[in-house]
Amino acid sequence: MMRRRRICLIAQPVALAVALALVASVTAQAPAPRPAQKVALRSAYTTTAATIGPLWAAKEGGFFDEEGLDVSLTRIQAGAPILAAIHSHEVPIAFVGGQQIVEATLKGGTYVMVAGFVDTLSQSIYVHPSIERPEQLKGKAIGVTNFGAITHLAGKEGVKYLGLEGQVTFLATGGPPETLAAMQFGKVLAGVFQPPDTLRAREMGFRELLNIAKIGIKSQGTAIATTRQWASENPELVERYIRAAIKGSHRLKTDQDFGMKVIEKYTRVSDPKLLKETYDFYKDQWRKDGFPSLEGIQKNIEAAAAGIPEAKTARAEQFVDLTFVNKIKASGLIERLWGK
């Protein structure tokens, strides 16, 4: 009996060793797990103004990659072109001006803002040197990127502030470079710009008539927008996209050298002085947490009411889905980036 017990005791370690050897053999033969494949995602933006900085920083800082997204960026004109691209899901998620999302949704669109990064009008009205007083703009045209774009809203607010409401017209040029060209060739005598385009306007001999940023008007400018359908069908992609943008905003605000390089690449401004001026102008405007401004969106609604009757009973909450930013905040990402 004792001899049989001794054999069993000896056999157990042997059996264990054999089992471990078999496991090691199978493990060695099994292929190593592949890293998760990144999801290709087309995205876009509508302006060369550095309000779009968090998007550019997410791309250049590798934060989309961190979130498992292979994002390609393109610039699409504000208004109908970008709205069509989002609606068709050709570009399912993009950085756009909040005004156009509000107006398109009031007209029956199914767009929604899922995050926001600039919520104060920061444009300026620049004029031809021959315009010395605001009243000289009466009956003249002001260039904006497109109707419903943030430059259009800023222009309307600026004109109202100057006491010229209803006394000037607006011309959609297609973008800041095109507005500058229209001013250069006399097609319009004024244009609405943000840095670095304000700097280009000065270089071309135009002068600032009104700095709208100093009026302090809240308005949801830069926002991340998609359709409700796409957000519902791809919630994980939406969340990862916003997370990357929040990380991009953090890197922009805390790393001046990186921020200036990003702005240089996308705005094609190479003068260090102009880059520094542009960076300083936007540094405090980029939001840390990605939450859209309900106060700013309400201002967008008020601006839309002049031409869209449905705006009179609309509320800011109709145009946003805060699910994603609330979830991101609850995950602790904001606190990890910025502290308590």
| pLDDT band, residue 49 (cuts 50/70/90) | confident
| CA-to-CA separations, 272 to 153, 225, 278, in angstroms, rounded | 30, 32, 10
pLDDT at site 11: 42
User: Is the model more confident about 271 or about 27?
Assistant: 271
**Does the pLDDT value for residue 34 go beyond 60?**
no
**Does the pLDDT value for residue 159 go beyond 50?**
yes
Quote the pTM value: 0.77
User: Is the model more confident about 303 or about 84?
Assistant: 84
| pLDDT band, residue 312 (cuts 50/70/90) | very high
| pLDDT band, residue 36 (cuts 50/70/90) | low
Percent of the chain residues topping a pLDDT of 70: 89
**Does the pLDDT value for residue 14 go beyond 70?**
no
Q: In the chain, what are the domains?
A: 39-119+219-338 (3.40.190.10), 124-215 (3.40.190.10)
| Mean per-residue pLDDT, 198-217 | 91
pLDDT at site 29: 42
For 238-250, what is each residue's pLDDT tens digit?
999 999 999 999 9
pLDDT at site 118: 92
Strand order in the sheet with 111-116: 69-75, 39-45, 93-97, 222-227, 111-116
Quick one: CA dihedral 181, 182, 183, 185, positive or negative?
A: positive
For 79-118, what is each residue's pLDDT tens digit?
899 999 999 999 999 999 999 999 999 999 999 999 999 9
Burial (Cβ within 10 Å: 0-12, 13-18, ≥19) of residue 177: middle
Tokens of 86: 């989002």
pLDDT at site 9: 41
